[in-house]
Structure 1
């Protein structure tokens, strides 16, 4: 049997929320792929063979035959266009734009949360001290936006599941899994996303000791 033409480069600890996003998208699409880890602490992402594949020298990077692409939302958008049998974005153009908006926002804003609640909280169970005032403000912004997006307590952001649900659930779980205060309906939403088999496949990967 031929090996998959798709290869996904991820971090060796499996803690990158962006690598997770692509991994989940590939699983949702039922695509065969190989996973290759890079030890970011020893700067393997700067090795010559990887920098030839990854313009940004970051994970995730997807290799599809002779094509390589970095940056997670660019990868998941590419996968939806190249492998459209099962989609991970909403079909409606306006809803799809909203999903991309959520992804872009979660990647570019809320820095205090990402700094004070690293994904070691999510995937290694680390506990962190109380949020700083700046992180408290960011958390309130996240909660307010999530409540607006999920008004009426739907199962998913945009009617049916999309990859944006995973990205939002990860950000919420940075707070939830540390024991920070998050409204019950958002906790329930994040828990629903977490039980998805594609998400559990990432959560249950064997991680090296820190």
Structure 2
């Protein structure tokens, strides 16, 4: 039993891909939760109240009673291990490890893509006119090669059934797809399919300035 109410602290503009991941996880689990906005533009993440909750002074942070947890992958793993309902990770041990590998890779690599195609492209419809730099194109080619290897035979999901890693890979691909950059059709179709998931649509429907 988890009687304590859940609060998810997210960025005020709803453009953090990591906040999206935690938000989708809560929705997929069918959990009631309050969304609390943190104004990163005014450095609210460093103010005493939030800094007292978030170890990293970043979003998202999940709060449940006197328990607070930062970092989106930690949050999604906690939710999957603590609550019944839709699984967020594959059940098989090796597939689950592979899903976590995808999450860790997307957070630690491909910086030129994240820099040149920020999430205003993904969540606010902004487009960047400048073509990808040579570094970003190399990163894109690396992304495409890895994603195609993970998705053989036109499979719908990375590991046979939906997982939170599918949402996170779709975000990275959509940095390019939604900007109009060339992306292999197989991967563009995969990203579009993940984008139609109701939990993702709930995030996309949040009001943005």
TM-score, with normalisation over the residues of structure 2? 0.97
1:44-193 alignment to 2 at 5 Å? Answer: 44-128=44-128, 129-193=130-194
CA distance in 1, matches of 2:207, 2:85: 30
The aligned residue for residue 33 of structure 1 is: 33
Could you tell me which runs of 5 or more consecutive residues in structure 2 were left unpaired when the two chains were aligned: none
**Is residue 2:11 matched to residue 1:17?**
no
**Residue 82 of structure 1: how far off its partner (Å):** 1.1
Could you tell me whether the CA contact under 8 Å between 2:4 and 2:65 is conserved in 1?
Answer: no
Encode CA deviations 1:2-32: one digit per residue, 9 max, x unaligned: x961000000110000000000000000000
Could you tell me whether the CA contact under 8 Å between 2:8 and 2:34 is conserved in 1?
Answer: yes
Encode CA deviations 1:92-128: one digit per residue, 9 max, x unaligned: 0000000000000000000000000000001111111
**Residue 70 of structure 1: how far off its partner (Å):** 0.3
CA distance in 2, matches of 1:84, 1:56: 28
Aligned CA-pair RMSD:
1.0
* SS of aligned partner of 2:10: strand
The aligned residue for residue 204 of structure 1 is: 205
Could you tell me which runs of 5 or more consecutive residues in structure 1 were left unpaired when the two chains were aligned: none
